[in-house]
C-alpha cells in the first residue's frame, strides 16, 4: 500500500516530508516538515520570515480548510511622526537578462511575518506528530548542511546584490571564497538552535518571546517599522476555500483577498463551454484559445480588483458577459484585440509543496519571502521578507498600507476533487505566471488526459500586456500561425522558471499515486511505499 507521495522544490525538501510519511504521519505532517526543511534546502527561494497559504483536504469527512498565514502591513501603534528616521529602505536592481526589475530591501521592507505562526497552527490543528518531530529534518539540515545546488546558485546570482548587501548574509552563503557556489554546503547553526527552541516553546517564541525581542531590537536599531503590537497581534486566518465546478470535477482554491484562485476559477468557467479535449495539444487553435481566455480573464480582473468579491466575480451573469466577448473574438480571428491592463507583478521567489497521503488526505502549501530583505536578524540565523519593497504590490506608493491589513497575493494552492475523492494537488511559484501555470496543469491532466508528469512538464504559454510568451517545446508551425493571426509572440529558446514551478501530486482514475516535481524549478518527487 502506498503511504503517500510528495512533490517539492528540492530533493531534500521532499525527503523531509517523505520521512514523516514513512513513520505513519499524514499529509500535513509531511507538508509542514518539508516547509521547515525548505528554509535550508531552498534558501535562495524561501525563508522563515515570510508568509504563505495552505489548502488541506481530509478524506475521512471530506472537509477542507484554507490556512492564510500571509504577511500583514506593519506599524501598529505608530503614528507617522513616530516612524524611524531614516528608514532602512533602499533600491537594488535585479538583472533578469531581457529585463531589469527594481526591488527595495532593508529593515523597512519587512512586513509582519506569518509563516512560523501558520506552520505551527496547521500542525497543531491537523497534524499527528508533535511540532518538535516535524522540525527534526530542518534542524538536521541546518546543523549538517545542504548543497545550494545549481538552481539555488542560479537564483542567488540573479539576486546577487541582495545576498551581497550585508556582511552577515554574505558569510551565511559562503563568502568570501564560496559565495553562492553550487557546491557550497549551506549551514545555519543559529537557525538550528532557534528551531529546537521552537519545538519546545511553540510560536510564542517568535511573536512574544526572545526571538521576537531580537527581531524588534534589530528593527529599532536600523530603521524598520515592525512593532511589538504587530507581532503580538498577528493571527492565522482559516477560511473556506473558493469552490468552482469544472466538467465533473470540483476545484478548491485560495479565496479573496488573494486573487490568484479567483482568476483561475474564472478562466475555467470560460473554458467550460469549449471541447478542449477535442483540440490537438500544441496546435495554433489550442494556443489561441488559451491566449484569449487569459486575455479575457485579465479584462474581467478589473471587476475583482474593485469588489474583492469572488461571488460577484464568478456570478453566471458576469461570466456570460465575458464568455460572449471571448466567443466573438475567437470567431473574428485577426481583428483588433482589446488592450489588457498591465497586472501588478508579484513575488518572484516562491516555492510550493504538494502531498497526498495513503488515506487520501491532500495538501497544497505555497510560501514566499519575496526576494528577502538583505540581512540576517543578529544571533538568530533568521532571514525575514521584503514584501513591502515590491513596487507592484503597492500601487499607491511605498509604505502607505494600513497597519495590520493582510497584503494581497497571487499564490493559489489548489486541490481538485471528483465525487469527494482526491484527484490533484497543485500550486506554483512564478509571480503572475502562477495562475497560468496552474491552469495549464489542470487542463493537461483533466482535458488532455496526460499523466501528471507530462501534465507538468508540457510546455506552457503566458499572456499579459498583449504579448504572448511561448515556452520552448511548441511547434514552429503553430507559432507562425499565431504570428500570422496578429499576435505579438516571444518564443523562449529554453524551458525557464519564468513559467512557474508547479510541483504536483495526484491519484489517477486507476488509483495510482502520481507526482511531478517541476524541472523548471529543480522539483523532486518521493513516493513512499
Catalytic residues: 350
Is residue 44 a contact partner of residue 9, using CB atoms and an 8 Å limit?
no
Burial of 493 (0-12, 13-18, 19+ CB in 10 A): exposed
CA-CA distance, 472 to 519, in Å (whole number)?
Answer: 14
Distance separating alpha carbons of residues 204 and 117, to the nearest angstrom: 9
Largest CA distance in the chain: 65
Per the CB < 8 A criterion, the answer to whether 102 and 91 are in contact is: yes
Distance CA 138, CA 237 (A): 25
- The residues, ordered by sequence, that sit 6+ positions from 67 with a Cβ below 8 Å of its Cβ are 53, 54, 55, 56, 118, 121, 122, 236, 237, 238
DSSP per-residue letters across 66-133: EEEE--B---TT--GGGS-SS---EEEEEE-SS-EEEEEESGGG--B--HHHHHHHHHHHH-SS-HHH
- Cα-based distances in Å from 235 to 212, 253, 256, 260, 405: 15, 21, 17, 22, 11
Report residue 240 as a C-alpha cell.
473556506
Q: Which residue has the cell 539576486?
A: 159
CA-to-CA distance for 112 and 370, rounded, in angstroms?
13
- Give the DSSP H or E segment for 175: none
Q: Are β-strands 237-239 and 146-147 bridged in parallel, bridged antiparallel, or unpaired?
A: unpaired
Q: Compute the distance between CA of residue 376 and CA of residue 308 in angstroms, rounded to an integer.
A: 35
Amino acid at each position: 500500500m502506498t503511504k503517500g507521495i510528495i512533490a517539492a522544490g528540492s530533493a531534500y525538501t521532499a525527503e523531509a516530508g517523505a520521512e514523516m510519511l514513512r513513520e505513519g504521519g499524514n499529509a500535513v505532517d509531511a507538508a509542514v516538515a518539508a516547509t521547515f526543511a525548505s528554509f535550508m534546502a531552498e534558501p535562495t527561494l524561501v525563508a522563515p520570515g515570510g508568509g504563505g497559504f495552505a489548502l488541506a483536504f481530509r478524506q475521512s469527512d471530506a472537509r477542507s480548510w484554507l490556512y492564510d498565514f500571509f504577511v500583514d502591513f506593519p506599524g501598529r501603534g505608530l503614528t507617522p511622526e513616530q516612524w524611524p528616521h531614516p528608514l532602512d529602505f533602499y533600491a537594488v536592481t535585479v538583472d533578469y537578462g531581457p529585463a531589469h526589475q527594481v526591488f527595495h530591501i532593508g529593515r523597512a521592507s519587512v512586513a509582519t511575518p506569518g509563516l512560523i505562526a501558520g506552520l505551527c497552527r496547521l500542525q497543531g490543528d491537523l497534524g499527528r506528530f508533535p511540532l518538535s518531530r516535524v522540525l527534526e529534518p530542518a534542524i538536521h539540515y541546518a546543523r549538517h548542511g545542504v548543497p545550494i545546488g545549481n538552481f539555488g546558485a542560479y537564483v542567488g546570482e540573479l539576486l546577487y546584490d541582495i545576498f551581497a548587501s550585508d556582511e552577515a548574509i554574505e558569510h551565511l552563503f559562503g563568502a568570501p571564497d564560496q559565495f553562492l557556489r553550487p557546491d557550497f554546503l549551506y549551514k545555519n547553526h543559529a537557525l538550528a538552535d532557534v528551531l529546537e527552541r521552537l519545538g519546545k516553546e511553540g510560536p510564542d517564541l517568535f511573536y512574544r518571546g526572545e526571538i521576537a525581542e531580537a527581531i524588534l531590537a534589530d528593527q529599532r536599531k536600523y530603521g524598520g517599522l515592525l512593532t511589538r503590537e504587530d507581532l503580538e497581534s498577528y493571527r492565522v486566518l482559516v477560511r473556506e476555500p473558493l469552490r468552482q465546478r469544472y466538467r465533473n470535477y470540483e476545484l478548491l482554491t485560495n479565496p479573496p483577498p488573494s486573487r490568484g484562485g479567483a482568476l483561475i476559477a474564472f478562466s475555467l468557467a470560460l473554458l467550460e463551454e469549449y471541447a478542449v479535449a477535442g483540440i490537438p495539444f500544441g496546435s495554433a487553435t489550442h494556443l489561441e484559445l488559451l491566449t484569449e481566455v487569459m486575455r479575457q480573464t485579465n479584462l474581467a480582473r478589473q471587476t475583482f480588483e474593485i469588489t474583492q468579491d469572488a461571488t460577484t466575480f464568478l456570478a453566471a451573469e458576469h461570466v456570460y458577459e465575458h464568455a460572449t466577448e471571448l466567443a466573438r473574438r475567437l470567431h473574428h480571428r485577426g481583428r483588433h484585440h482589446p488592450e489588457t491592463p498591465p497586472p501588478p507583478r508579484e513575488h518572484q521567489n516562491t516555492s510550493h509543496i504538494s502531498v497526498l497521503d495513503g488515506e487520501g488526505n491532500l495538501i497544497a502549501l505555497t510560501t514566499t519571502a519575496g526576494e528577502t530583505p538583505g540581512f540576517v536578524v543578529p544571533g538568530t540565523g533568521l532571514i525575514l521578507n521584503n514584501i513591502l519593497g515590491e513596487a507592484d504590490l503597492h500601487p499607491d506608493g511605498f509604505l502607505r498600507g494600513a497597519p495590520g491589513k493582510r497584503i494581497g497575493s497571487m499564490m493559489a494552492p489548489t486541490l481538485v476533487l471528483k465525487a469527494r475523492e482526491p484527484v490533484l494537488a497543485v500550486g506554483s511559484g512564478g509571480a503572475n505566471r502562477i495562475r497560468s501555470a496552474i491552469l495549464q496543469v489542470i487542463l493537461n491532466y483533466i482535458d488532455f488526459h496526460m499523466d501528471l508528469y507530462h501534465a507538468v512538464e508540457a510546455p506552457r504559454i503566458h499572456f499579459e500586456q498583449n504579448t504572448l510568451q511561448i515556452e520552448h517545446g511548441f511547434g514552429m508551425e503553430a507559432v507562425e500561425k499565431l504570428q500570422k493571426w496578429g499576435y505579438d509572440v516571444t518564443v523562449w529558446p529554453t524551458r525557464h522558471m519564468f513559467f512557474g514551478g508547479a510541483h504536483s501530486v495526484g491519484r489517477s482514475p486507476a488509483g495510482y499515486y502520481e507526482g511531478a516535481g517541476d524541472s523548471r524549478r529543480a522539483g523532486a518527487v518521493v513516493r513512499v511505499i
